[in-house]
């Protein structure tokens, strides 16, 4: 199953019975940002047949952290309710600056759902090419059963990250901006320190994309990781603000064949705790 599919590919195959298109747009709406409504945006313009995944609610709602994984049962119920079954080929897109389709792709991988692709370039590229979109809400498909199998190898917890800071067994890579990583810019979440996890390196996620919003080539991605100080022969533990853009690094790592796991709590967890070490650097 290809990790990425082109707009041309989707236009040619979107009518296939095994294809299910999901809009995985999510907006964190940080303080000071103009609020955006992902559901309303999907209703205003979406690819024909696309169902709204609603990442904002597909999380552990009992956690005080913003985007912790939901339970396997909740994930299976949500996708099954959108017509995703064991033989479905999921095609995910988004229209969010944080590339939230990558988060949905990674969540699928966590729960053992591997028949999943990302529409390279997202809805923006689809529309720039003059391809048709619809407005309104698509009819819900018949619910179906989705088998999930939790894969802990692509997920890192707080305890595991503490251990990695001590042992260096995996390279910690942070997807946030250089100013957020360095600590020059304050974190947008209240009661969250500035800075980064000690020993981590910084690879801001926008550096993974071409100007048209598609992922760079494998060679270009390897170069981006290398320039950030990442060695190609060691596994990665990926972090960001809340596990969203770290998932974009996870997609890129997958594209170049480098093992990687996402720290789900990310800086929202690490930066808000008084008992975790923090580092700052010059931007």
Domain boundaries, the chain: 4-150, 153-270
Please indicate whether residue 42 is annotated as part of the active site: no
**Confidence (pLDDT) at 1:** 85
Positive or negative CA dihedral for 196, 259, 162, 73? positive
**Confidence (pLDDT) at 14:** 97
Mean pLDDT by 10 residues, the chain (283 residues): 97 97 96 92 98 98 96 98 98 97 98 98 98 97 97 98 98 98 94 97 98 98 98 97 98 98 98 98 70
Q: What is the pTM of this model?
A: 0.97
What the block records as the tokens of 129 is 């090419």
What CATH topology corresponds to 4-150? Oxidized Rhodanese; domain 1 (3.40.250)
Which of 24, 173, 240, 244 is catalytic? The answer is: 240
DSSP tag of 143 = P
Alpha-carbon distance of 175 to 98, in angstroms, equals 11
Alpha-carbon distance of 30 to 248, in angstroms, equals 19
**Confidence (pLDDT) at 30:** 84
**Confidence (pLDDT) at 113:** 98
CATH level 2 (architecture), domain 153-270:
3-Layer(aba) Sandwich (3.40)
Residues ≥6 apart with Cβ < 8 Å to 91:
5, 10, 14, 19, 20, 21, 22, 116, 117, 118, 119
Positive or negative CA dihedral for 113, 62, 262, 27? positive
């Amino acid at each position: 199953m290809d990790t990425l599919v082109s707009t041309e590919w989707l236009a040619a195959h979107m009518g296939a019975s095994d294809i299910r298109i999901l809009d995985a747009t999510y907006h964190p709406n940080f303080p000071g940002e103009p609020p955006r409504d992902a559901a309303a945006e999907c209703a205003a313009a979406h690819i024909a047949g696309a169902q709204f995944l609603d990442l904002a609610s597909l999380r552990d709602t009992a956690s005080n952290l913003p985007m912790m994984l939901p339970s396997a049962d909740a994930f299976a119920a949500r996708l099954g309710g959108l017509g995703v079954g064991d033989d479905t080929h999921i095609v995910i897109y988004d229209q969010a600056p944080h590339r939230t389709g990558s988060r949905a792709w990674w969540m699928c991988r966590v729960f053992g759902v591997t028949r999943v692709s990302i529409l390279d370039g997202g809805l923006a590229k689809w529309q720039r090419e003059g391809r048709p979109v619809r407005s309104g809400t698509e009819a819900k498909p018949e619910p179906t059963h989705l088998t999930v199998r939790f894969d802990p190898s692509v997920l890192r917890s707080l305890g595991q990250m503490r251990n990695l800071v001590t042992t260096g067994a995996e390279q910690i890579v942070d997807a946030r901006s250089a100013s957020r990583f360095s600590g020059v810019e304050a974190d947008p979440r209240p009661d969250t320190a500035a800075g980064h996890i000690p020993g981590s390196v910084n690879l801001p996620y926008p550096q993974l994309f071409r100007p048209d919003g598609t992922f760079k080539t494998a060679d270009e991605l390897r170069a981006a990781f290398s320039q950030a100080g990442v060695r190609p022969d060691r596994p990665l533990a990926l972090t960001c603000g809340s596990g969203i853009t770290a998932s974009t690094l996870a997609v890129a790592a997958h594209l170049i064949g480098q093992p990687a796991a996402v720290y789900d709590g990310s800086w929202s967890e690490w930066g808000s705790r008084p008992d975790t070490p923090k580092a700052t650097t010059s931007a």
